[in-house]
């Protein structure tokens, strides 16, 4: 299928909680993730894509928990939901990072945790 066909499907079938697209090509052995809105804006219409899933933040969070274990948690500060994360190259509790619990944050952490090569 083409990216344009996927975009057409997104426009007609996307649910509000589906903010992330997980997509792949046969010739590559890894899966790409992107924000749905950014994918729609930047995908080349004639680009061949072999499959995709529209997913929500809970799906990505479950993957992060699998990769990170106790190095990641959700927390609250000042009424804002945050991600508390200790990057894989850090050891000290003082190295924990606090970021907004939002789709881009989850994708950024997933990218670091997988080295940009997520394999399902």
User: Does the pLDDT at position 118 exceed 80?
Assistant: no
Q: How confident is the model at residue 16 (pLDDT cuts 50, 70, 90)?
A: very high
**pLDDT above 70: percentage of residues in the chain:** 97
> What does the pLDDT look like over 41-81, one tens digit per residue?
999 999 999 999 999 999 999 999 999 999 999 999 999 99
First-to-last C-alpha distance (Å) of the chain: 20
Helix or strand holding residue 85 (H, E): strand 80-85
Q: How confident is the model at residue 116 (pLDDT cuts 50, 70, 90)?
A: confident
Q: What is the pTM of this model?
A: 0.89
59 touches 33 (CB < 8 A)? no
User: Does the pLDDT at position 120 exceed 70?
Assistant: no
Provide the residue count of the chain.
120
> What does the pLDDT look like over 76-100, one tens digit per residue?
999 999 999 999 988 888 899 999 9
């Amino acid at each position: 299928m083409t990216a344009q066909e996927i975009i057409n499907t997104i426009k007609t079938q996307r649910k509000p909680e589906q903010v992330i697209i997980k997509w792949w090509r046969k010739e590559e052995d890894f899966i790409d993730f992107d924000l749905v809105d950014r994918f729609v804006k930047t995908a080349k219409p004639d680009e061949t894509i072999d499959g995709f899933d529209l997913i929500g933040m809970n799906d990505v969070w479950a993957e992060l928990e699998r990769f990170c274990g106790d190095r990641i948690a959700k927390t609250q500060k000042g009424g804002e939901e945050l991600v508390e994360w200790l990057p894989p190259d850090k050891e000290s509790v003082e190295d924990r990072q606090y970021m907004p619990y939002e789709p881009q944050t989850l994708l950024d952490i997933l990218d670091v945790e997988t080295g940009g090569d997520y394999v399902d």
